[in-house]
Amino acid sequence: MTKKQVFIWTIKAVCFSAIFAALFWNAQVLLHPKHHSQYTMDDFYRLPENSVDVLFCGSSHMVFGMDANIFAEMTGLNAYSIAINGQHLDYTCEYLEEALKTQTPRIVVVDTYHFIRDTQEMQIVDLHYSVDSLRWSLDKLRGIAEHVPREYWSELLLSLIRYHSRWAELTREDMGYLLNDGNQGRGNRGFAGLESVLPVDVGGWSTAECRPLSDEAEELLEKFLGLSEENGFEIVFLNFPVTGLREGDYARYNTLYQFCDEHGIRYVDYNMTHYRGFDEKTDFADYGHLNVVGAKKISIDFSERYY
């Protein structure tokens, strides 16, 4: 082949590769289910740098239980929640580190629920919520390598593997997301309200005993403290009201409280001290999460009582 022919074939190959990559990427975006965590992080990435005063982090308890809109309105502090449904502490820490790349919060509030768990291993559906919503970066790849079982790597790196059959389920929302039509603001500062109502009995064990946290939870607890010291923000641990806690759970919460007391960390436990107007018959959506009524009450109480 002549140099001219080589050049022409090279140009064709580059153009084909670019077109294929663009089509493949847009197919991934189109077919990927659109969930609240995606809108939460999309809106977060649009925030001006160093504009967030208070950052809420954690799992579904924070997603459904703390309305950053109410907190911001009542305190005058710009607040945002990067909590993700089903998220365990290892990825809560990853999300906090991701947020610190562009934000310098004064206060970081962390949901404590998973500190009492024996393991931080997440189900694949929950991993997709946390992993898929992050921007691509070396840190995202490192997080997958460190926290995700190898058997799930392929579908988290190429979500089209999991969602390639969604063609029949596509809606206008999917196409609108691809075209960036009306996406901004849908994250609602990270808050998602549940409308359902389930009367519950929050009564449970209480104990003075302390039970050790899991090794992984202890390691992550120290990591949160280290990030607080390195980046100059106050860290606050927040325990939402849930049902079905056992004596061993309270014993681990006692260990967490003891750690916070020793290190001068504010610890707010709404399992032990109820928020104003608390009503277990009207404030829960299910056995583990507040509904919009309970979330409004706890958001107001937390804003008034602590800030």
Instruction: Say which residue, 273 or 71, is predicted with more confidence.
Output: 71
Residue with tokens 């580059």: 14
- For residue 184, what pLDDT is reported? 66
Residue 40 above 90 pLDDT?
Answer: yes
User: At a CB cut-off of 8 Å and minimum separation 6, what does 120 contact?
Assistant: 88, 89, 90, 114, 147, 214, 216, 217, 220
Rounded mean pLDDT, 253-266: 93
- DSSP, collapsed to helix, strand or coil, labels residue 267 as strand
Least confident piece of the model among 91-95, 110-114, 239-243: 239-243
Q: Judging by beta carbons within 10 Å of its beta carbon (0-12, 13-18, 19+), is residue 79 exposed, middle or buried? A: buried
Q: Are 239 and 290 in contact (CB under 8 A)?
A: no
- For residue 160, what pLDDT is reported? 76
Report all structural domains of the chain as residue ranges with CATH numbers, in order of start.
35-149+186-306 (3.40.50.1110)
pTM greater than 0.85: yes
